[in-house]
Amino acid sequence: MTSGHVLVAPDKFKGSLTAVEVAERVAAGFRAVRPEVAVVTMPVADGGDGTVDAAVACGFSRMEATVTGPVGDLVRGAYGLSDGVAVVELAEASGLRRLPGGRAAPLTATSAGTGDLIAAALAHGARRVVIGLGGSACTDGGAGMMRALGVRLLDAQGHDLASGGAALTGLHALDTTGFTRPDGVTFALASDVDNPLLGPDGAAAVYAPQKGASPADVARLEEGLARFADVVERELGVRVRDAPGAGAAGGTGFAAMAFLGATSGSGITLLLDLMGFAAHLPGAALVVTGEGKLDDQTLRGKAPAGVAAAAAGAGIPVIAVCGRNTLTPGRLHQAGIAQAFDLAAIEPDPERSMTQAGPLLERLAATIATQWPTPSVREWSR
């Protein structure tokens, strides 16, 4: 038997369970066989889908607003608010999951709803706005977001452009008379990517195909983003197209940096700090993190890697749960994860693993609990 609590801090299992559900299932599995051990749940996120839910689970108030969806329809979106700090999740308003019927709109999808959420947060007194970038349906450089905040995008005849990244090819000028950068408000971007706006590693080339863009669409979107960058830099006198993270969420990072002065950093690091993760570490004997799939992307700033780094700094062993793991023990150890436990080990059928992820995860957690601390935490930490 060991003293100290178990801290359960996972991200979502995409397509199966939210981060909150993952944490609840792991906790239930531990409590079923180790009722004497205190289990603390703290679902986490790195800026993508589920970021607001994770913030709410950590004490933020859930605030709702009617906003513009990615194809112009109205949707009900939410953001988190606590003591003047707002957590805005782009996916809540402008995400792929907001596309009606799942039908892609790579050329016309807009980030306007994200701007609507920011405006709502500011109206409720937010002085710091953290924008989670991930899961976007749009490749419009954040133009729609800025339009919702009062910027007009004009063609050569002085008419407003249509929505979407493709329309940016016709951009001639900006009208910023309706936009004022909020005085005394700071903006930060939470993202797990560091892509620039343009080029082979940019927003259009890397991410637009995931949003339904054909090669011809990618070329047109790249042209539109380049035109947007040229006009913004000419009229605002700032150059951020090459900044790490400018290409995040279809280039929304670019507009946030250029117009709002947003800083960009590791999404999971920023959000762990915002959610008070460090306060739960003292006295912890074990941290359980995880996500749907542990792979090379996990090691590039995803939530489990961020959790492991924070826990390792406090000398606490970390294990991970997942649906599937493709990382070798050596790669896991480099990331600070002592051992990974995957659903595939107890359910080899991928479809059942997805549809029955909740009960399977609870069963897996119970198995882990029976093994802990034998093998000992010391052995897990080697």
Cα separation of 304 and 310, whole Å? 10
Q: What is the pTM of this model?
A: 0.90
Dihedral, CA atoms, 302, 305, 311, 313, nearest 10 degrees?
-110
Residue 373 confidence class, pLDDT cut points 50, 70, 90: confident
- For residue 137, the Cα-to-chain-centroid distance in whole angstroms is 14
Question: Domain range for residue 196?
Answer: 51-268
- For residue 32, the Cα-to-chain-centroid distance in whole angstroms is 31
Is residue 186 domain-resident?
yes
Q: Does residue 74 or residue 371 have the better pLDDT?
A: 74
Mean pLDDT calculated for residue range 193-216: 96
Confidence at residue 379, expressed as pLDDT on a 0 to 100 scale? 45
Cα separation of 153 and 36, whole Å? 61
Sheet holding 5-8, edge to edge: 39-41, 5-8, 284-294, 318-325, 339-342
Does the pLDDT at position 375 exceed 80? Answer: no
Does the pLDDT at position 130 exceed 80? Answer: yes
State the CATH number of the domain containing residue 302. Answer: 3.40.50.10350
What's the number of domains the chain is made of? 2
- pLDDT per position as a tens digit, 248-275: 999 999 999 999 999 998 889 999 999 8
Is residue 275 domain-resident?
no
Based on the domain organization, do 26 and 159 belong to the same domain? no
Based on the domain organization, do 304 and 168 belong to the same domain? no
Is residue 21 domain-resident?
yes
- pLDDT per position as a tens digit, 323-339: 999 999 999 999 999 99
Confidence at residue 380, expressed as pLDDT on a 0 to 100 scale? 46
Q: Among the residues of the chain, which ranges form H helices?
A: 19-33, 51-57, 90-94, 112-123, 143-148, 215-236, 248-260, 267-274, 303-313, 329-334, 350-355, 357-371, 377-380
End-to-end CA distance of the chain: 19
Q: Does residue 373 or residue 88 have the better pLDDT?
A: 88
- pLDDT per position as a tens digit, 328-371: 999 999 999 999 999 998 999 989 999 999 999 999 999 999 98
State the CATH number of the domain containing residue 176. Answer: 3.90.1510.10
Confidence at residue 3, expressed as pLDDT on a 0 to 100 scale? 61
Based on the domain organization, do 119 and 31 belong to the same domain? no
Based on the domain organization, do 293 and 173 belong to the same domain? no
Q: Could you tell me the two tokens for 121?
A: 């947060």
Confidence at residue 218, expressed as pLDDT on a 0 to 100 scale? 98
The H or E element that residue 61 is part of is strand 61-68
Mean pLDDT calculated for residue range 208-229: 98
Confidence at residue 298, expressed as pLDDT on a 0 to 100 scale? 87
Looking at residue 195, its amino acid is: N
Q: Categorise residue 291: left if φ over 0, alpha if ψ from -120 to 50, beta otherwise.
A: beta
Mean pLDDT calculated for residue range 197-212: 97
The residue from 268, 302, 335 where one domain ends is 268
46: burial class by Cβ within 10 Å (0-12, 13-18, 19+)?
buried
CB atoms within 10 A of CB 190: 29
- The three-state secondary structure class of 279 is helix
Is residue 243 domain-resident?
yes
Cα separation of 143 and 128, whole Å? 21
Least confident of 3-7, 24-28, 218-222, 305-309: 3-7
The residue behind tokens 């995409």 is: 14
Based on the domain organization, do 38 and 56 belong to the same domain? no
Looking at residue 352, its amino acid is: R
Angle between helices 267-274 and 303-313 (to 10 degrees): 60
Confidence at residue 16, expressed as pLDDT on a 0 to 100 scale? 92
Angle between helices 215-236 and 248-260 (to 10 degrees): 10
**Contact (Cβ atoms closer than 8 angstroms) between residue 143 and residue 101:** no
Confidence at residue 29, expressed as pLDDT on a 0 to 100 scale? 96
Taken in order 67, 69, 73, 78, the sign of the CA dihedral is: negative
Cα separation of 176 and 27, whole Å? 50
Based on the domain organization, do 308 and 262 belong to the same domain? no
Cα separation of 200 and 339, whole Å? 36
Based on the domain organization, do 25 and 140 belong to the same domain? no
Based on the domain organization, do 214 and 325 belong to the same domain? no
Parallel/antiparallel/unpaired status of strands 263-266 and 186-191:
parallel
Which has the closest alpha carbon to 92: 59, 60, 116, 124?
A: 116
Does the pLDDT at position 182 exceed 80? Answer: yes
Based on the domain organization, do 131 and 256 belong to the same domain? yes
With helix as H, strand as E and coil as C, how does 317-328 read? CEEEEEEEECCC
Parallel/antiparallel/unpaired status of strands 74-82 and 85-89:
antiparallel
Is residue 189 domain-resident?
yes
The residue from 237, 268, 299 where one domain ends is 268
The residue from 234, 268, 302 where one domain ends is 268
Confidence at residue 185, expressed as pLDDT on a 0 to 100 scale? 97
Mean pLDDT calculated for residue range 85-101: 96
Based on the domain organization, do 307 and 237 belong to the same domain? no
Q: Tell me the sheet residues that pair with 95.
A: 136
Residue 1 confidence class, pLDDT cut points 50, 70, 90: very low
Residue 203 DSSP code: I
Is residue 200 domain-resident?
yes
Based on the domain organization, do 254 and 346 belong to the same domain? no
- 288 phi and psi, to 5 degrees? -115, 120
Confidence at residue 371, expressed as pLDDT on a 0 to 100 scale? 87
Confidence at residue 301, expressed as pLDDT on a 0 to 100 scale? 80
Is residue 273 domain-resident?
no
Residue 175 DSSP code: E
Based on the domain organization, do 305 and 238 belong to the same domain? no
- pLDDT per position as a tens digit, 268-315: 999 999 989 999 999 999 999 999 999 988 888 889 999 999 998 899
Cα separation of 92 and 312, whole Å? 32
